[in-house]
Copies of this chain bind each other. A is one copy, B any other.
Amino acid sequence: LKAQTETPFDAFVTDCQSRVEKALDACLPPEDAPPTLLHKAMRYSTLNGGKRIRPLLIYAAGTAIDIGLSRLDGPACAVELIHAYSLIHDDLPAMDDDCLRRGRPTCHRAFDEATAILAGDALQSLAFQVLTRHPSTTSDPAVRLHLVEALATASGSRGMAGGQALDLASEGRQLELLELENVHIHKTGALLRCCVQMATLLRPDLDPAVTRRLDRFAKCMGLAFQIRDDILDVEGDTRSLGKTGGKDAEQNKATYPSVVGLAESRAMAAQLYDQAMQELERFDGNADLLRGIARYIVGRQH
């Protein structure tokens, strides 16, 4: 029973979530194919009803520049596989040591630590396989290659993995705001920015000024997303988050609320939202989904 107040953006979210769920299901190896335990763990950690913010961002950015949804399925799956692998590894005892993720036991709790490490490793490989193989992405191998390069760069030591390393190194240490911003830009920002970048890579004919505006939009929203995450960790309870609330403070992690306070954190997220909106000013109605994503990111309660 759908609520009568469902907006076009709500419908887009629901449609794209089920769209990427189906696409992920198709590109993950079947559970009954050996090695079955590894494949079970890969599916368990990916097909678990995540919010799919990264795929949504790809579909919304693609729509803003007139790319059909089916061309975006490959990049959407690939980025979500990278995200899923990073969550598995981040939750490991040697990292954030978390037992709950999306309301269910984390991968190393549901299976075992070795399987969790390998499932993460294999999901990363799969992400690149999907980019090289997904049939509907593009017929131009040069474009595909750019997608691989963009995702590999965003995932690596100067992107997401590097951000996680900076985050771990910051534990128990009081950071300056600029240092903290640097952690967030890498840890979460790089992959979110890569989502929009992959969409624009599918349109090599795009006006470079448009590409730059969309990139700046993505940069603002990437940082806003992580600030919102920090705020939610202070505000939220474990049930609504689907992961353990209050972990940041407990682990002595540097967060926006701990560095600039809760009110200022909210103000900064709002300011980044305004900046992001400005980047979209010259776009027509096609960018409404991107505007919706931005509102969704800044307003989300979990």
Q: Give A residues with C-beta under 8 Å from B.
A: 29, 33-35, 37-39, 42, 85-86, 89, 92, 94-95, 112-115, 117-118, 120-122, 124-126, 128-129, 131-133, 141-142, 144-146, 148-149, 152-153, 155-159, 161-162, 164-166, 168-169
Contact = CB atoms under 8 A, between A and B. Distances in A.
Contacts of A141: 141-142, 144-145
A202 to B, nearest CB: 15
Contacts of A161: 38, 118, 121-122, 125
A120 B117 CA distance: 10
Contacts of A38: 157, 161-162, 165
Contacts of A131: 148
A117 B92 contact: yes
21 contacts: A35-B165, A38-B157, A86-B121, A89-B118, A94-B113, A95-B117, A115-B165, A118-B161, A121-B124, A121-B155, A122-B157, A122-B162, A125-B156, A126-B156, A128-B152, A129-B153, A131-B148, A133-B149, A141-B142, A141-B145, A144-B145
Contacts of A33: 158
Contact of A148 (B148, B158, B164): B148
A181 to B, nearest CB: 14
A22 B89 CA distance: 31
Contact of A35 (B86, B129, B169): B169
A117 B94 contact: yes
A166 B35 contact: yes
A114 B92 CA distance: 9
A156 B117 contact: no
A35 B115 CA distance: 27
B156 A129 contact: yes
